[in-house]
Amino acid sequence: MSASGDYSVSVRRAAPRAIAAVPARLPVARVPALFKSYLDQVYAAARGGAISLDGQNIFVYRDAGEAGVADIEFGVGVTKPFDAVGPVRPSELPVGEVATTTHWRDYKLGGAHEAVIAWCWEHGRALTGTRWEVYGHWSDDASKVRTDVYYLLESSA
């Protein structure tokens, strides 16, 4: 099964979007075991009334210059500006041209990431080292569980 054959990759312009996020530098392989502890901090700040969330989890990864390690923002979309609450900081998603695909069902996103990277390689598009995942709202129907994967592209000009 070819990862790129299972996904449709497109290029579009990423618009500004505000998030509430807790930053961390860690091995990407540790994300599945640790993400909940970071998101819990965001949701706790929202329960306290300091932040208005839209409920859509978003993880932003920036290469940290060490293989397998990234500077990660574990965040949730917000509906209005806010001031920092403890480790929870206001942040913005990257803006610019992105290569993107959608993954359906489980949260095993490796194939989606591989498909975008392969597409960029095949089309001569350079990556910036910044990428993010936007998780759709939860559904008990696994076929409706959606995650969008974005890779910020170097300018093609």
What are the tens digits of pLDDT across the range 96-138? 999 999 999 887 888 999 999 999 999 999 999 999 999 988 7
Calpha distance 145→16 (Å, rounded): 24
Residue 9 has pLDDT above 90, yes or no: yes
Write down the domain spans for the chain: 1-15+95-157, 17-92
Write down the pLDDT at residue 3: 43
Write down the pLDDT at residue 142: 76
Question: What is the pLDDT confidence band of residue 146, given thresholds at 50, 70 and 90?
Answer: very high
- pTM check: above 0.85: yes
* E strand intervals along the chain: 10-14, 18-27, 53-63, 69-78, 89-92, 96-104, 127-135, 146-153
Calpha distance 151→134 (Å, rounded): 12
* Radius of gyration, CA atoms only, the chain: 16
Write down the pLDDT at residue 2: 36
Calpha distance 130→143 (Å, rounded): 28
Q: Is 157 helix (H, G, I), strand (E, B) or coil?
A: coil
Calpha distance 58→71 (Å, rounded): 14
* E strand intervals along 64-153: 69-78, 89-92, 96-104, 127-135, 146-153
* Pick from 33-47, 110-124, 140-154: least confident: 140-154
Answer yes or no: same fold for 1-15+95-157 and 17-92. Answer: yes
**CATH H-level, domain 1-15+95-157: superfamily:** Regulatory factor, effector binding domain (3.20.80.10)
Residue 92 has pLDDT above 70, yes or no: yes
- Please compute the mean of the pLDDT values over residues 59-71 and round it to a whole number: 96
CB 142 within 8 A of CB 129: no
| Third-level CATH fold of 17-92 | Multidrug-efflux Transporter 1 Regulator Bmrr; Chain A (3.20.80)
